[in-house]
Structure 1
Amino acid sequence: MLATMGAAIAPGIAILSYFYLKDKYEIEPLHMVVKMFIIGLLLVFPVMVVQFGFQEELQLGVFAQSYVLAGFLEEFFKWFIIYYTVYQHVEFDEPYDGIVYAVAVSLGFATLENFFYLREHGGAAAAFYRALLPVSGHGLFGVLMGYYFGKAKFSVGRTRRRLYLVISLALPVMLHGTYDFILLMQQPIWPWLMVPFMLFLWLLALNLSRVALNRSMAAAFGAHYEKEVEKI
Structure 2
Amino acid sequence: MEENMPENTCCVCGEPGVHSLGGRWFCERHHQTATRERRGAWRSNLGLILALVVFVGLVYAVDSFVQPAFTPSTLLLTGVLLAIVPALIWLGVFYQQDRLEPEPKGFVLGVFLLGALLAAAVGIPLVENVFRVSDWLYADTLTTILGGILVVGFAQEFLKYAAVRYSMYNSAEFDESTDGVVYATAAGLGYATVLNVMFVVQNGGVDLGLGVIRMAVVALAQAGFAGITGYFLGRAKFEHESIWWMPLGITLAAVANGLFNWVRGEVTRGGVSLSGGAANPWSGLILAAVVAFICLGAVSWLIHRNVKSALAAK
TM-score bracket for the superposition, by shorter chain length: 0.7 to 0.9
- Contact 1:5/1:115, CA 8 A, preserved across alignment: yes
1:193, 1:152 → 2: CA distance? Answer: 36
Q: Return the match for 2:292 from 187, 195, 201.
A: 201
2:132 counterpart residue number: 55
- Contact 1:12/1:107, CA 8 A, preserved across alignment: yes
Q: Compute the displacement of 1:158 (Å).
A: 4.3
1:41, 1:122 → 2: CA distance? Answer: 21
Do structure 1's residue 76 and structure 2's residue 158 form an aligned pair? Answer: yes
Higher relative CO (Cα under 8 Å, sequence separation at least 6) belongs to: 1
Superposition RMSD in Å: 3.1
1:7 counterpart residue number: 82
2:78, 2:207 → 1: CA distance? Answer: 10
- Tell which structure's C-alpha radius of gyration is larger: 2
Cα separation, partners in 2 of 1:203 and 1:20, compared to 1, 3 Å:
farther
1:3, 1:24 → 2: CA distance? Answer: 31
Do structure 1's residue 110 and structure 2's residue 110 form an aligned pair? Answer: no
User: 3-state SS of the aligned residue for 1:14?
Assistant: helix
Of 16-25 and 135-144, deviating more is 16-25
Q: Which runs of 5+ in 1 are unaligned?
A: 225-232
User: 3-state SS of the aligned residue for 2:206?
Assistant: coil
Supply the AA of the counterpart residue of 2:300. S
Cα separation, partners in 2 of 1:16 and 1:213, compared to 1, 3 Å:
farther
Supply the AA of the counterpart residue of 1:201. A
- Contact 1:41/1:111, CA 8 A, preserved across alignment: yes
Q: Which has the higher helix share?
A: 1
2:92, 2:122 → 1: CA distance? Answer: 26
Q: Compute the displacement of 1:213 (Å).
A: 6.9
- Contact 2:161/2:230, CA 8 A, preserved across alignment: no
Cα separation, partners in 2 of 1:102 and 1:17, compared to 1, 3 Å:
farther
**1:20-39 equivalences in 2 (<5 Å):** 21-23=96-98, 25-39=100-114
Q: Compute the displacement of 1:206 (Å).
A: 2.8
Cα separation, partners in 2 of 1:141 and 1:43, compared to 1, 3 Å:
same
2:17 counterpart residue number: none
1:193, 1:130 → 2: CA distance? Answer: 11
Supply the AA of the counterpart residue of 2:130. G
Of 3-12 and 190-199, deviating more is 190-199
Do structure 1's residue 145 and structure 2's residue 229 form an aligned pair? Answer: yes
1:148, 1:25 → 2: CA distance? Answer: 25
Of 125-134 and 187-196, deviating more is 187-196
Over the matched positions of the two proteins, sequence identity in percent amounts to 24
Q: Deviations over 1:37-92 (max 9, x none)?
A: 11111112311221121128x85532233112321111112112322222222211
1:230 counterpart residue number: none
1:99 counterpart residue number: 181
Q: Compute the displacement of 1:146 (Å).
A: 1.0
Aligned length in residues: 217
Q: Return the match for 1:42 from 109, 114, 117.
A: 117
Supply the AA of the counterpart residue of 2:116. L
Supply the AA of the counterpart residue of 2:254. V
1:90 counterpart residue number: 172
Cα separation, partners in 2 of 1:63 and 1:207, compared to 1, 3 Å:
closer
Q: Return the match for 1:165 from 246, 254, 278.
A: 246
- Contact 1:12/1:136, CA 8 A, preserved across alignment: no
1:64 counterpart residue number: 146
Cα separation, partners in 2 of 1:211 and 1:26, compared to 1, 3 Å:
farther
User: 3-state SS of the aligned residue for 1:85?
Assistant: coil
Supply the AA of the counterpart residue of 1:95. S
Cα separation, partners in 2 of 1:59 and 1:130, compared to 1, 3 Å:
closer
2:18 counterpart residue number: none
